[in-house]
Amino acid sequence: MSAALRTVLLTVLTLCCFAANSILTRIGLRDGGMDGLAFALIRIAAGSAMLVLLLSRRASGLRRLAGDWPSALALLIYATAFSVAYRSIPSGTGALILFGAVQVTMIGSGVANGERPPWPEWCGVLVSISGLLVFLLPGLQRPPLAGSLLMLAAGIGWAAYSLRGRGNGDPLAATAGNFVRALPLTVLPWLVFGDFEINTRGLLCALASGALASGLGYALWYTVLPALSALRASVVQLAAPMLVTVFGVLFLGEPLSLRLVAGSALILGGLALATLYRAGRVAAPSNA
């Protein structure tokens, strides 16, 4: 198998893993009747086990856990808010709100730290924010406000986690360490606010979401990322929420509403303008 074909196949598999997280969570919570905090706990536990296993099987000697507690806390906020939010909002809507919040937060962090994005990036951010507002403003077919706000919180948590991980020399070891640290932190919210009833379908979805879609998915992403240009990596990330939307409509029977179409177009269009413009500037010197 050629290197190019291998990169394409791994990228497609990674994209499916990213989309599967939303679909599995929605199935586990909606159809399996699983408690959101219990789902998050099992997902983190399964992800920890998979990542530690992958780290232990490295050919090199670099098998120690890395990461830190602040990153683990950000991961906890993302995982718990993400799971609880999907009790009430459709998978596609949730993925769009999550992805929009992540990118807007990361760009906003850059501005707060002194970055001055050019006008195409500003326009993209504003268009994406208008797409988020489409889901939050009152009206027919608006997703539940509480679930939408929780998914916004999940996006901010994931953005904080991603920002803390920038420039990490060993992302697999850092991710494994952060998952392991997040595990005891996830137990307390479940003990205080969660439901102790766990059913088979929800359990299987949580295990698959943690071990396969999260643990294996992140490992695949770190494997394929060095072979992708900044532009291609941005395209892959833009495709993930759209794939979740399509899967939700096809396999979960979620409605294809005008609000969903309009919000998708604004969020993904704005993010495409902002992130692809930035990726193009980053990739330009290497292509010259």
Q: What is the pLDDT of residues 124-144, one digit of tens each?
A: 767 777 776 776 666 656 778
pLDDT given for residue 283 in this prediction: 45
pLDDT given for residue 200 in this prediction: 86
pLDDT given for residue 229 in this prediction: 57
Task: At 145, list the tokens.
Answer: 């406000």
Report which listed range, 57-66, 68-77, 133-142, 160-169, is most confident.
68-77
* pLDDT higher than threshold 80 for residue 108: no
In Å, how far from its chain's centre is CA 264? 16
* pLDDT higher than threshold 60 for residue 278: no
The arithmetic mean of pLDDT across residues 74-101, rounded, is 88
Confidence of residue 285 (pLDDT cuts 50, 70, 90): very low
Confidence of residue 167 (pLDDT cuts 50, 70, 90): low
pLDDT given for residue 286 in this prediction: 36
pLDDT in tens, 30-45: 776 788 899 999 999 9
Write down the mean pLDDT value for the chain. Answer: 80
* pLDDT higher than threshold 50 for residue 215: yes
pLDDT in tens, 220-247: 887 777 766 555 565 666 677 777 888 8
Q: Which residues of 254-270 are buried (b: 16+ CB within 10 A; e: fewer)?
A: beebebbeebbebbbbb
pLDDT given for residue 287 in this prediction: 35
Bigger pLDDT: 111 or 82? 82
**Percent of the chain beyond pLDDT 70?**
81
pLDDT given for residue 193 in this prediction: 84
Considering only CA atoms, give the Rg of the chain: 18
pLDDT in tens, 168-187: 778 888 899 999 999 999 99
Bigger pLDDT: 271 or 102? 102
pLDDT given for residue 78 in this prediction: 94
Domain definitions of the chain by residue range: 3-287
